Structure 1
């Protein structure tokens, strides 16, 4: 994603709009893959006027999420899953996910089962995500991802650094020239940067954010949401998003829009 997909999207937008630079807003993995792009293709920093990171996910050493910590298992079972032809988890349109999407449209089920899953994934903030928004989330979530991506997150839960994929000593030697995966280079992200984060984020913990922040060379602002219950999913789904996130974000977007 960081090496191919995001650079392709950046180039496409620049070509279609004829602007010199764009503003990149990345939530969670969308923030982490932005750092990967800059590390692997540092020339792309010249194409971005401003980076806004909403709880960017890099290493996840201190994650408190029970569901997210379950991804550790994919380090053990990925090969077995792929052997039997399972390459993707949570695919939209699959019978199990389709049934969950339908069940969570029921108000009672959404209020009990689906909200319980959301809380296990992140942290409780009951007044922030309304029942209507909860049902809307579960109409489209989850959308699926590869078992490789799950394994990479599993590795990030145990690593003290933001590392490339660990394929094992032999494959690492072939790909990286060393038996261990190298670190991504945060210093290559020279783009003016604004980071938003919530103190009750159980997926991307404050300790992990404050670990990578000093490594970034051009941080304009680090905004910790005042609400102590603000969690990971609030960054995109909260009914208070406009006032809490968009207003300060808009200030920086206006400042860097003409660059």
Structure 2
């Protein structure tokens, strides 16, 4: 695998520099340490151990250039499927949400959930040989990763509450946390969900529609071939490097990169060179079970716990069908930001979230905003960061 990718990269490098118009993003290929160091920002690495033994990496940016005082507000960022915490630093220096808030007196914590390349460690299990390591969906992230991380951050910062920002799967995990671990509602000053993914639609996404229809067959094939990890760790660097090269040629391949990120959508908001920076950090790896759980939600139109089949469901849940996540039980102040062109979450799904959440604030983004635009669009400062900051300011008095 590695030899193949090395050869492929040499070929792509030749054509990129000799035959094509190659665009280098100035920060592409930089690790988070070098990325933040280049712009003179502090970085701390924190290892958080969950109740079930997973070791998580959180990257902390304690202050910005203009906000190094002591009265800062802790805020944890949680990425989407196969993502990484660095995505909140996109679409580039000074533009992403994390850059924006660190200069407004926020203490930034970029969480990397179990299974991604930063958090691929366990107290007793080896992710390379023990399939049990990968026996988790986003449910376990919400039940174990988020509580451990919130408690750790509050202990370090000596606060009683923090702010939460989740994109896509990060919002799903927030809903799991606040419904399955209700005591954590009191530790959240405001939960912000970007492109919230709970009640899903697959009408326009052909791949999801096909997989949803053959979910059980897909699951059997994955198990038969012992596939438990999406974008395995050993091949991840080569996959990311290949995609960076492909997405550097702004004329020939930009439509391919657009398709990868927007499914059938064509985003007009993402600059072509941004893709090169994005693929510095993704794909970051995740569990097949996370995808299967989402496919279950698509297939059933129900936002419920993982379906193990009637017998195991009865043993685990006490009933033959998976229980539902009761959104009505969320008591933490919760904000939903959604795009009108987002095909992952259908409008009626957003309506269900809003109607069932007791303390909710809602912002609908304009008609051209899609699922990934929340992180990668060139105008995120005006469209997302500024209104999000105005929303957060209403709740800063809750952080003590």
Q: Do they superpose with TM above 0.5? A: yes
More contact order relative to length (CA 8 Å, sep ≥ 6): 1
Alignment match, 1:101: 243
Return the TM-score normalized by structure 2: 0.60
1:11 shift after superposition? 0.6
Q: 1:23 to 1:240 in 2, by over 3 A?
A: same
- Structural RMSD (CA): 2.0
Query: For 1:15, which of 141, 155, 159 is the aligned residue?
Result: 155
Q: 1:135 to 1:63 in 2, by over 3 A?
A: farther
C-alpha distance in 2, partners of 1:63/1:55? 17
- Stretch deviating more after TM superposition (138-147 or 43-52): 138-147
C-alpha distance in 2, partners of 1:15/1:87? 34
Alignment match, 1:242: 381
The answer for unaligned runs of 5 or more in structure 2 is 1-140
Cα deviations across residues 216-253 of structure 1 (Å, max 9, x unaligned)? 1111x211112x11000011111111101111110122
Alignment match, 2:259: 116
1:198 shift after superposition? 0.6
1:86 is aligned to 2:227: yes
Alignment match, 2:44: none
C-alpha distance in 2, partners of 1:187/1:9? 24
C-alpha distance in 1, partners of 2:335/2:276? 31
Q: Would the aligned equivalents of 2:154 and 2:160 in 1 still touch at CA under 8 Å? A: yes
C-alpha distance in 1, partners of 2:209/2:277? 25
1:131 is aligned to 2:289: no
User: How many residues matched?
Assistant: 255
Q: Would the aligned equivalents of 1:32 and 1:57 in 2 still touch at CA under 8 Å? A: yes
Q: Would the aligned equivalents of 1:133 and 1:237 in 2 still touch at CA under 8 Å? A: yes
Q: Which has the higher helix share?
A: 1
Alignment match, 1:39: 179
Q: Would the aligned equivalents of 1:122 and 1:232 in 2 still touch at CA under 8 Å? A: no
3-state secondary structure, aligned to 1:43? helix
Alignment match, 1:179: 320
1:224 is aligned to 2:361: no
Q: Would the aligned equivalents of 2:168 and 2:194 in 1 still touch at CA under 8 Å? A: yes
